[in-house]
Chains A and B, each alone.
Chain A
Amino acid sequence: MSKINTQTEISAPTFWEQYKRKPLGMVGLVIVLVYVFVALFAPFLTPYNPKQILLADRIAAPVWFRSVVPQYNDAPSTIRTTLGPDEWAVREATGGKLVAEELEGNAISVIEFDPVARDEGISEDGVDTQEYGYYEEEPAKSAVVLSYPIAYNFSPPNTFGATFNYWIDASSDSKTELECVIETPEGKGYSLWARSYTGAISSQPARVDSRDLTLKQRLGLTIFDDPAPTIFSSKGDYRLVLRATSTSGEEPTRVYISNTEFYIPGKIHGLLGADHMGADLWTQLIYGTRISLSIGLSAAGISVAVGTAVGIICGYLGGVVDEFMMRVVDVLMAIPTLPVLIILGAILGKSVWNIVLLISAFAWMGTARLVRSQTLSLRERVFVEAAKASGASDAYVMLVHILPNVLPLVFAGMVLRIPAAILTEASLSFLGLGDPRVATWGRILHNARGFGAFTTLAWWWLVPPGLAITFLSLAFVFIGNTVNEILNPRYRERS
């Protein structure tokens, strides 16, 4: 025990010389550097951010499935188009035209109908303005029909949707009808949405979602049928058609259409697919690197700092302080950590910082014991006695003589504690006790378990986070063991 080589004679360059010769240590270092790189440059490695949802269909498969899994050969990737005045093609314009305007920096499409001076004698011609379906044109009316081609060369999608905002400027005697239709390559038309108005109206949102019950009824389907596969049943050129008809009054009727979006969520998406909300899993994975690295490093740093301080003070001072602290250490070591963390985490609230503190609070005991035993032997050494004899204070001796001599031990211990902290954090997040606002690896697994990775057999949702944790932990174990071998040769036998 007394013959421990604790003189920190190894200088930084020598340490590096020795470290370079250990293959496992180098492998670990390279892996950690890769993770650090990913964490730092996460925004450049993905076009999305981890909170963006609805990027694809729920639990979309990775893009490379297309070439690997036959079932996904022609699976749809996400189609999301914003339609402005430039995108629309005017198919028909009788008594009106399409005008491009700008509102608060956004290009909006305006359908402008020519004013009609109407005779008093002409009465309403009895058109049922609430009529649904794809109907024949009333020749008397002005009509503007816009269409947008959608090339769809995939297998049928699960859902689709369209949204736009519209408002109408018109005199009170005018009647305006709006209708949204999808035309299939076979020439069949499905009327998704229609409204008719008298006079002017303020801004209204229109939302078409293939999962809506009203849409199913409108198309004459039962609630168990799915409009999306019914409409997009074949490959070819589809058309999204927006039809506006109007009987203008004295004023020209103007129909404003803004924020138009057409959306078919893809069944395949990105490098690693999408989760239950359609968020990109690759993005979540690489942003998770940041959380794991910072929680691992800070929790290990805090716990080792606390442990070192306690260990040195107890070992050096001895007596009642030592006795008391060592009992505390005994008790804490016998406590099953996770149940305590679960309860405390629930009480203190879910935040990353809380998790770091909690993990550190239950991880400093090992270091404290190790450092204490080391200090016990150090304080009997001649150089400590000499320092004391020449009048050095306790604090001075602890800081200047003891601390540098336990540092090598502590450093290796800290590296080896990082994977434990990472694993604890992942477990807590997996149990749903992590910060709900940040994407962590544990959280991805939590979502995977809770939101259908099993029933859909979405292994691509489950495997990557676990692999990420494993490789990072392994890397730190390699580094820690190598550092131990160099700095603390006495511990070479251990693991």
Chain B
Amino acid sequence: MTFNFAIFRLMPGDATKMIIDPLFTPEAKAELERQFGLDDPPFVQYVKYMSSLSKFDLGLSFSTRRPVVNELKERLPNTAVLFLASFTLTTIIGISVGVYTASKRGTFADNFVTGAGLFAYAVPSFWIQLLLLMLFGYYIPILPIHGTMSAPPPDGFFLQFLDRIHHLILPAGSNVIVAFGSWALYTRNTMLEALGQDYIVTARAKGLPENTVLRHHALRSVLPPIVTLIFGALPGMVSGAVITETIFSWHGVGKYLMDAVMMQDYPAAQGAFYLIALAVVVCNLVADIVYGIVDPRIRVGEGGAK
């Protein structure tokens, strides 16, 4: 899978034409091309590119003349923080709401979540984010409207930390609001299926408290499919991250990609995309590991539980 990604890269050379300013003199143009290694034939470029890729050398950015790797290094932690915060909160809230509504079938909460799940499928998430931005950034200006921290940042580690959290609330929170509905709905449906099984009846007949039945018997059995689905949705979440970062001017990889594309900064776009693809591969690996943890049946050396 990892290698497939590397192959699926855009061939360098596609974009060489659009980078060079038509106003440049031929000499300046040639010099620039030489500097960026654009005068080689495409195949040589490709081989060079692949070899430098393995050394994490992503070339120079056309617009800032800095190594793309440095720029990405600066931004990666920001993206990771935003992504992890949104991801963790979304899954935790989504699954707990799903379990809760499954146990309260037919109530208002249940109907609400069912509706929210359907809504989440149909509503453009960036629009919800824009509305939240307008509401909390402008109408009731209690949250910062852009960036990862205040400029200049406040003194002291603790205050800086708080400042970053303050900046994180809107982007991460809006991600959660947009996404948790579908997780809740899926969890609810699989939970309802599981709750109809014989072993649940047995567990209840044993006189176990309802909470135990829900958490240890039903949820345990539906976790594997939920985890599969969650990690299967990772590419989609990465796509969403690009939009989120753009909307909230979050100093991250996704916004870097957008800016690079807008400025036709080809090495930068390429580097950012490479990093995003890499992240998805890593996430898939993590998914396999997590899957092993939640599903005892595929854990080596422990035999079939249940």
Contact = CB atoms under 8 A, between A and B. Distances in A.
Which secondary structure characterizes the binding site on chain B?
helix
Given A342-B261, A457-B134, A477-B122, A466 B235 contact: no
Interface of B: 1, 4-5, 8, 10, 14-15, 18, 118-119, 121-124, 126-128, 130-131, 133-134, 137-139, 145, 185, 189, 193, 235-236, 238-240, 242-243, 246-247, 254, 257-258, 261-262, 264, 269, 272-273, 276-277, 280-281, 284
B138 A335 contact: no
A460 to B, nearest CB: 11
Interface residues of A, number: 43
A495 B257 CA distance: 34
A338 B245 CA distance: 13
B122 A466 contact: no
A366 B194 CA distance: 26
Nearest to B122: A473
A340 to B, nearest CB: 8
A334 B280 contact: yes
B262 A432 contact: yes
Interface string A388-430: 0000000000000000000000000000000100010011001
A342 B137 CA distance: 27
B8 A465 contact: no
A242 interface: no
B122 A339 contact: no
Given A335-B280, A432-B262, A477 B239 contact: no
14 contacts: A333-B235, A334-B235, A335-B5, A339-B254, A342-B257, A343-B10, A344-B10, A419-B122, A423-B124, A432-B262, A449-B130, A454-B134, A459-B131, A477-B121
- Which of A430, A445, A463 has the most chain B CB atoms inside 10 A of its CB? A430
A469 B261 contact: no
A469 B276 CA distance: 28
A474 B138 contact: no
Given A334-B235, A346-B261, A457-B134, A469 B127 contact: yes
Given A331-B8, A347-B10, 20 more contacts: A330-B1, A334-B5, A334-B281, A335-B5, A335-B235, A336-B280, A338-B240, A339-B276, A340-B273, A342-B258, A342-B261, A343-B257, A346-B264, A427-B124, A445-B130, A449-B130, A454-B134, A473-B123, A474-B118, A493-B193
A338 B239 CA distance: 5
Interface string A333-358: 11111111011101100000000000
A338 B262 contact: no
Contacts of A449: 130, 247
A470 interface: yes
Contacts of B138: 454-455, 457
A469 B123 contact: yes
